[in-house]
Amino acid sequence: MAMREELLTLLQLKDIDRTGWARAGVENPESVAAHSWGMAVLALRLCPKELDLSKVLSICLVHDIAEIVVGDLTPHDDIRGEEKHMLEREAMMKIAPQWVELFDEYEQGESEEAQFVKTMDKLDMGLQAINYQQQSLDLSEFITSAQSRTHGTEFASLLE
């Protein structure tokens, strides 16, 4: 893939709405790219000193790139678990093989950086749900899900 086409493909993440918000009735839901930016901003502000901030930010920015190809799959979809991972990894190999190691690290969650990014993923969702509730929607399922990931961390109070 030539550089221009590759970049145009990567930027398509800005045009993919977050499925969960659309399903919940949010008007003008954020894009997957906006979610990745939200995670990166939270990580930039909250990253513990002992973690590799560059790696953390990189994982935040690329963890959902595969959704350009497979779409934003949620727990409400028929595709989940190993099948979802396989489809997403194939998509990564096709459109962004240079970042597949970061994708794998995030998916496996073995490093402290990946664990922290998974927490930022849920924290971004929970805080976004709090923002969206101003539209008079009940988004407690999203907040509860985020609280389950942040429970026992220094970030739990941000979702109360």
Residue 117's pLDDT is: 98
pTM of the model: 0.92
Mean pLDDT of the chain: 93
Q: How many domains are contained in the chain?
A: 1
Token readout for 52 is 């590799």
Show Cβ contacts of residue 13 under 8 Å, excluding neighbours closer than 6 positions.
31, 32, 33, 36, 64, 65, 67, 68
CATH of residue 102's domain is 1.10.3210.10
Domain that holds residue 29: 3-159
User: Does residue 36 register a pLDDT over 90?
Assistant: yes
In the structure, what pLDDT confidence band is assigned to residue 47 with cuts at 50, 70 and 90? very high
Q: What percent of the chain has pLDDT over 90?
A: 82
Look at 132 and 82; give whichever has higher pLDDT.
132
In one-letter notation, the amino acid at residue 153 is T
Token readout for 89 is 């990894």
Residue 85's pLDDT is: 86
